[in-house]
Amino acid sequence: MAQLRLLPMTDTEFTVFRAELITSYAAHHVEAGDWEPDEAEGRAAAEIDGLLPDGPGTAGMLVLVAENDSGERVGHVWIALGRSRPEHAWIFDTEVNSGHRGNGYGRALLQAGEDQAREHGSSTIGLHVFGANKVARNLYESSGYQTTSVVMRKTLR
């Protein structure tokens, strides 16, 4: 498995991360049928800003960039510590940069994030994945994540 080093995200990196996350999070909610396109980015920004009011320095949050052995930034992970229960961590976002996908970094990034959560006292970790994201779902399932809830919808016309 690829080896990654996790480092705190800088304020400059956070500005780019936030903008990209708003766009992708909004698009996922529109695709899932949760939000209307004209409201999606505003709702995404409000949620992200509410969770990260102090950017990467927000208490109880780990907002980290992943660096490979060559020193290249290959992705990021955002983990909340102790939000629902003191021993539980939650992965809000994890992503391998597009130019680095297919090199085993997804699994390595997930493992490195889990290690960080464990080092901060977490004994369990969870995440949400949109149903249409089959690649991510396969990664999580093959990494030992178990389905704890399923939300389903049917469009009535």
pLDDT at position 131 is 87
Residue 152 confidence (pLDDT) above 90:
no
Average pLDDT (45-55) is 98
- Structure tokens, 132: 């249409």
- Residue 153: the pLDDT is 83
What was the pLDDT predicted at 155?
84
The runs of H, that is alpha helices, within 105-147 are 105-119, 134-142
Residues β-bridged to residue 8: 64
pLDDT at 1: 72
**Residues 92-128: tens digit of each pLDDT:** 999 999 999 988 999 999 999 999 999 999 999 999 9
Enumerate domains of the chain plus CATH numbers: 5-142 (3.40.630.30)
Q: Which candidate, 103, 143, 105, places its Cα nearest to that of 125?
A: 143
On whether the CB atoms of residues 84 and 91 are closer than 8 A, the answer is no
User: Using one digit for the tens of pLDDT, what is the confidence trace for 15-36?
Assistant: 999 999 999 999 999 999 999 9
pLDDT at 69: 93
Is the pLDDT at 2 greater than 90, yes or no?
no
Task: Tell me the mean pLDDT in the region 42-63.
Answer: 98
Handedness of CA 95, 152, 124, 2 (dihedral sign): negative
